[in-house]
Chains A and B, each alone.
Chain A
Amino acid sequence: GENVGLHLPTLSVQEGDNSIINCAYSNSASDYFIWYKQESGKGPQFIIDIRSNMDKRQGQRVTVLLNKTVKHLSLQIAATQPGDSAVYFCAERSGNDYKLSFGAGTTVTVRA
Chain B
Amino acid sequence: SAVISQKPSRDICQRGTSLTIQCQVDSQVTMMFWYRQQPGQSLTLIATANQGSEATYESGFVIDKFPISRPNLTFSTLTVSNMSPEDSSIYLCSVESWGAEAFFGQGTRLTVV
Query: What is the interface of chain A, defined by CB distance below 8 A to chain B?
Result: 32, 34, 36, 41-46, 49, 89, 91, 98-100, 102-105
The reply to whether A45 and B42 contact each other, CB–CB distance below 8 Å, is: no
B106 / chain A contacts, CB cutoff of 8 Å? 42-43
Q: Which of B63-71, B76-84, B96-104 contacts A (4 or more CB under 8 A)?
A: B96-104
Knowing A34-B101, A43-B106, the reply to whether A104 touches B48 (Cβ < 8 A) is no
Knowing A43-B92, A43-B107, A98-B31, the reply to whether A34 touches B102 (Cβ < 8 A) is yes
B30 to chain A, nearest CB (A): 8
B15 to chain A, nearest CB (A): 24
Query: What is the interface of chain B, defined by CB distance below 8 A to chain A?
Result: 1, 4, 6, 31, 33, 41-45, 48, 92, 94, 96, 98-99, 101-107, 109
A42 to B103 alpha-carbon distance, docked (Å): 12
The reply to whether B42 and A104 contact each other, CB–CB distance below 8 Å, is: yes
A58 to B77 alpha-carbon distance, docked (Å): 36
A45 / chain B contacts, CB cutoff of 8 Å? 104
Chain A: CB-nearest residue to B92: A43
A99 / chain B contacts, CB cutoff of 8 Å? 33, 45, 48
| Residue of B31, B42, B92 touching A103 (CB-CB under 8 A) | B42
A73 to chain B, nearest CB (A): 15
A110 to B5 alpha-carbon distance, docked (Å): 30
A89 / chain B contacts, CB cutoff of 8 Å? 42-43
| Residue of B1, B42, B98 touching A102 (CB-CB under 8 A) | B42
A46 / chain B contacts, CB cutoff of 8 Å? 1, 101-103
Chain B: CB-nearest residue to A47: B101
B99 / chain A contacts, CB cutoff of 8 Å? 32
